[in-house]
Amino acid sequence: MRDRSEHLCSSYWDAEATLPPKDKQLTLPILPGAVRAAEAEAFKDEPPVQRTRGEAPLNVKVLVNFAPLHAHGATLQPLDTVALVSILRTIVREPRIGRFSVVAFNLEEQRILYRQRDSERIDFPALGEALHSLNLGTVDLGRLSQKNGETEFLANLIQREIGGADHPDALIFAGPKALLDESVSTESLKEVGEVQYPVFYMNYNLHPDSTPWRDAIGRAVKFFKGYEYSISRPRDLWAAVGEIVSKAAKLKNVRRLAAAPGSE
């Protein structure tokens, strides 16, 4: 700093970015000491991943509610989009997962935006293109005439995706809290029948203390004896994906041993 009399005052310091002890196991996107431009395109293709050898890879289905963090927001903010895409990318980068099915939807518009079935990779550019059709902040007259239309849409989605003919090793919901006026009824959930694979919910919530109660998707996941994870920081995401994969792999091995010849 310099004043009018040309008196000079200066100070210098060194800064070092380090991970806290709890985050030491996190995989860093760039090497220490490296500098790289921030990614401008959220939906660029994901590089190939070296999958785990010696065991059958997991097959997962991911249902993502692409919606603003704040309910009924007029736009899907870039921060929200990046957070939801980061959840997908973290799942894709898990070496023990080899097959992916993706359903991108929006509860407010009561619409499936994108679907990809049983693939070795997720087509992120196609997903990004599909999200351009989102038209939040406008009201469709047809939806206004439906009482609890969002709840009905979610019930149909659950019945179709969980109770469908395909049987993944795990089904994962992801997205911000779905705070609906009415949750999916128990009768609708019972129509799905017995689920032979684990169900998970990765709830993107930057401020979990502000909305600590369970939302409509969380209640449905609880009905199926599933697991819910609150994602507020990178550490939460890393830990949740690791636990999801471990639980899914363990249950898959149990089913495989039970089906083996000679097992009782």
Can you give the residue range of the structural domain that contains 86?
A: 55-259
pLDDT confidence band for 139 (50 / 70 / 90): low
Mean pLDDT of the chain: 88
Here the CATH number for the domain that contains residue 196 is 3.40.50
pLDDT score of 49 more than 60:
yes
Total of domains in the chain: 1
What is the pTM assigned to this prediction? 0.85
238 has pLDDT over 80: yes
Give per-residue pLDDT as tens, 195-232: 989 999 999 998 888 888 999 999 999 999 999 999 99
Of the listed ranges 36-40, 221-225, 236-240, the least confidently predicted one is: 36-40
**Alpha helix stretches (DSSP H) within the chain:** 78-92, 124-131, 141-144, 149-162, 186-190, 216-223, 234-259
pLDDT in tens, 86-117: 999 999 999 999 999 999 999 989 999 999 99
Nearest CA-CA partner of 97 in 262, 202, 247: 247
Which distant-in-sequence residues (6+ apart) come within 8 Å of 244 by Cβ?
Answer: 170, 172, 198, 200, 202, 227, 229
Residue 123, in any domain of the structure? yes
Model pLDDT for residues 156-190, shown as the tens digit of each residue: 999 999 987 788 999 999 999 999 989 999 999 99
Is 248 domain-assigned? yes
Phi, psi of 211 (to 5 degrees): -135, 75
Q: Is the pLDDT of residue 77 over 90?
A: no
Per the listing, tokens 């006026």 go with 181
In a domain, 6, yes or no: no
| Strands laid side by side in the 58-65 sheet | 111-119, 97-106, 58-65, 170-175, 199-204, 227-231
* pLDDT surpasses 70 at 37: yes
CA distance readout (Å), 237 to 123, 149, 154, 210: 21, 31, 24, 19
Residue 16 in domain: no
Q: How confident is the model at residue 264 (pLDDT cuts 50, 70, 90)?
A: low
Q: Is residue 33 part of a domain?
A: no
Q: Does residue 48 form part of some domain?
A: no
